Amino acid sequence: MQTAEIRRRFIDYFAARGHTIVPSTPLVYNDPTLLFVNAGMVPFKPYFTGAEDAPYKRAVSVQKCVRTLDIEEVGKTTRHGTFFQMNGNFSFGDYFKAEAIEFAWELVTGSQADGFLGFDPDKVWVTAYYDDDEAAALWRGVGVPKAHIQRRGLKDNYWHMGIPGPGGPCSEIYIDRGPEFGPDGGPEADEDRFLEIWNLVFQTEELSAVRAKDDFDVLGPLPSKNIDTGMGLERTAYLLQGVANMYEIDEIFPVITRAAELAGTRYGKDAQDDVRLRVVGDHVRSALMLMTDGVTPGNEARGYVLRRLLRRSIRSMRLLGVTDPVLPELLPVSRDLMASSYSEVPDQWTRTSQVAYAEEEAFRRTLAAGTQIFDLAAGQARSEQSGTLSGSQVFQLHDTYGFPFDLTLEMAAEQGLNVDAEGFRTLMTEQRERAKADAKAKKGATVASEAYRSLRSSGEVPFLGFTDLNAETKVRGIIADGQLVDRAQPGSVVEVVLEETPFYAESGGQDADSGLITGDGLSLEVLDVQRPVQGLVVHKVRIDDGELATGASVLAAVDAAARHAACQAHTATHIVNATLRQLLGQGTHQAGSYNKPGYLRFDFNATSGLSHDLQQELEGVANEAIRADYPVTATEMPLDQAKALGAQAMFGEKYGDVVRMVELAGPWSRELCGGTHVERTAQIGLLSLIGESSVGSGLRRVEAFVAADAFADLAKERALVSGLAELLKVQPDQLAERVGKLIAQVKAAEKEIAAMRSREILSKVPSLVAGATEVGGYRLVAKELPGLGGDDLRNLAMEVRSVFGSAAGVVALVGGAEKPILTVATTEAARALGAKAGALVSVGAAALGGRGGGRDDLAQGGGSDASAGAAALAAISKALAG
């Protein structure tokens, strides 16, 4: 049974039983505690906790997921995958254990001819939480024999997200694959033979802190008893397709087949090669799905995970002997396999492929640069006669230069060198622990939601700010240090929830409103406005005067000037987005934005920077749109209708069934947006582009001033131009030509100065050669030349060496200023006698309190003791004499 067919049967089964079909959320989700969506229930988390009202009582979905903790295990086991799909059925206070178990049993064991999955009931085993007698009894009731029901503890049969949130005991379904896969005895005996395919979670508790799988604090019961299930689509597929592991299913194996063809091998021929091919199959698909959902390669967070997946794929192919670009061969195969289930894959293909191919080309350059660094490290290891690359050297190659550890091992073995793998792993472990501690600190910083949920239970806080900047209202609640309080005193900073508000909460890239909340003897300055849960607006305020009390009548007044400036910036952001799509093509997509009064920042996908001419055109077209005085309209409509009209949506944003579409000049600019805007584009006044830069692989950023800030920026530039023109005694329109001539004159002068300096330095050659001494059969020039830099020392040493001709000559020069620099050059005859520049530099640099290395003919090093130049030269002389 094909994977897409299993997916269809699962959805159809639950849709026929009253479940609303919910499309998969993008992998990048607006939850600050998660890097990626890692479970099928993530989009439903607010419904489980009661933070939001569920729009349906039952739901079914096939959710895209990524888990990154087991990347190193990918390819080595039958079940570890980075990207996977989770079939799930959900109940929000509707049905509970009995119905969930009955549904699961029927779908799993019902005949395929009737539309079910057709697993043999005799091969089904289940587990239940150790004290969940109800679940065990229900399983027996549907036909599972008592001998096939096992009880397990918190580590195995209690599920949570690994962060504060919903949790509860669970019951898992396993399939017995047969005695050839391991010993008998159920899941407790062997989880390779008995493979878990489905987990039924009975969500009943909210966790306030999570320290480990079986170590957490329970805040209290959830508002309702819920069902959250997850069936691994890939695991189910490889059982129903009769293959040995998840990498051999129909959505992955064709990539492996193509990779094997490129490598000139066959899957199943060599165990180690098979692991590498499985890594390629998994990682290429995972990278494709991440890039489709808007992730771009980078050095932090999500971008780092994607970069690692792509580079592990390329590295694995290299270890299989393929050094040519591989992603153009492999990525299209994965695209064709996933397109039938996810329409966004072909829709985003142009951008995705550009990002991927650019990343591979960058990594190929990294490999070339890393190879040079490796060669230096290998030369140093040989010169020190240790024969081992240190853990710190290998870690630097990996961490700083992105050089894969496996490739380091391979190249070291080729050169007969050992690698301090233990030292490398120690440093990697320390880095991971730092990352875990940082992640844990971020998770621990998540504010307990109890106070917010309590205030939200009184109803949604209406936002009046689209039409009103002032509103008479009442204080619904006060939060101090995460706790609800009745009163707060002057001088304190607290959070306030009003019955309704004109204040815009930060979202969609737009900064929060500022302003005042006043009452009888009361004055609060609004510092920030956020929506910690949907439907609840929370104002962070400083109490300047009076005592604040719950239930107090107040006047909420937005700073009108700041709001108007924010509206100007936000509408200008939409104009920049539309202009970029007009100039670069409709494949250009927003990757992030930020706007505040007077300023905007806009990120977008691109494989190269904008030329100067293109930047000017961007600014010109944007200002034409401003002068055209387009009306700015906002219309609420069904999500499907907005998409049909071509409205752009942001990756990772969560949209309801009804959305707000902001439109400028009809189809020229249509975006889903909940922000505030000017009524007509001419109200923006002016846009002044101030910069364009790279913010990651395949990701660019433009920044601009708008309105009064744009005029001020241009006035500053005008003043600068005027001052320079007066200084250079030319008209402003002649300034560029005059500056160009000055630059040419400066370059010519610098070239002449460099030539004079070179002649001066080379004039030292005769006296240096004349001062050579005989040491151990070598002619040695050893001289301190304070003030000379590294390039000068190197050129001088090579010039002196050339004078020696066929003689066995060695040149050792010490220069530098605050920190000494040592250069050593040797002739061919000297090297034939055993004098190697790299080894001699290491000897001399040690005397300087530093280190060095390089080739046998030319090497350089340095240190920290500027007074030890004579000692360094003496050490080299002694080494030659020996």
Q: Look at residues 368, 385, 375 and name the one whose alpha carbon lies nearest to residue 415.
A: 375
DSSP bridge partners of 858:
825
Q: Could you tell me how many residues make up the chain?
A: 882
| Residue 19 annotated as lining a ligand binding site | no
Q: Are 795 and 758 in contact (CB under 8 A)?
A: yes
Return the CA Rg of the chain.
34
Give, to the nearest 10 degrees, the angle between helix 405-414 and helix 349-383.
40
H/E stretch holding 150: strand 149-152
Q: What is the rounded CA–CA span in Å between residue 170 and residue 202?
A: 6
Q: Are 355 and 698 in contact (CB under 8 A)?
A: yes
Neighbours of 538 (CB within 10 A): 25
Q: Are 124 and 148 in contact (CB under 8 A)?
A: yes
Residue 776, sorted as left (phi over 0), alpha (psi -120 to 50) or beta, turns out to be left
| Residue 677 annotated as lining a ligand binding site | yes
| CB neighbour list of residue 495: distance below 8 Å, 6 or more residues apart | 478, 479, 480, 538, 539, 540, 541
418-419 and 388-389: which strand pairing?
Answer: parallel
Question: Rounded to 10 degrees, what is the CA torsion of 128, 129, 134, 136?
Answer: 30
| CB neighbour list of residue 295: distance below 8 Å, 6 or more residues apart | 27, 28, 302, 303, 305, 306
DSSP bridge partners of 524:
517, 543
Number of H helices and number of E strands within the chain? 26, 33
| Residue 170 annotated as lining a ligand binding site | no
Q: What is the rounded CA–CA span in Å between residue 386 and residue 585?
A: 57
For residues 234-248, one letter each, b for 16 or more C-beta atoms within 10 angstroms of the residue's C-beta and e for the rest, the string is bbbbbbbbebebbbb
Q: Quick one: CA dihedral 287, 290, 295, 300, positive or negative?
A: negative
Give the DSSP per-residue string, 300-312: SHHHHHHHHHHHH
Q: What is the rounded CA–CA span in Å between residue 100 and residue 141?
A: 13
Provide the CB-side half-sphere exposure for 255 (13 A, CA). 34
Give the DSSP per-residue string, 173-238: EEEE--GGGS-SS-TTT-TTTEEEEEEEEEEEEEEEEEEETTEEEEEEEEEEEEEEEEEEHHHHHH
| Residue 65 annotated as lining a ligand binding site | no
Q: What is the rounded CA–CA span in Å between residue 620 and residue 630?
A: 16
149-152 and 124-129: which strand pairing?
Answer: parallel
Q: What is the rounded CA–CA span in Å between residue 249 and residue 263?
A: 21
Q: What is the rounded CA–CA span in Å between residue 125 and residue 46?
A: 32
Q: What is the rounded CA–CA span in Å between residue 447 and residue 668?
A: 41
Q: What is the rounded CA–CA span in Å between residue 588 and residue 607?
A: 11
| CB neighbour list of residue 831: distance below 8 Å, 6 or more residues apart | 856, 857
Give the DSSP per-residue string, 232-301: EHHHHHHHHTT-SSGGGSTTTHHHHHHHHHHHT--TTS-HHHHHHHHHHHHHHHHHHHHHHTT----SSH
Q: What is the rounded CA–CA span in Å between residue 30 and residue 13?
A: 30
Known binding residues are: 570, 574, 673, 677
Residues belonging to the binding site for Zn(2+) are 570, 574, 673, 677
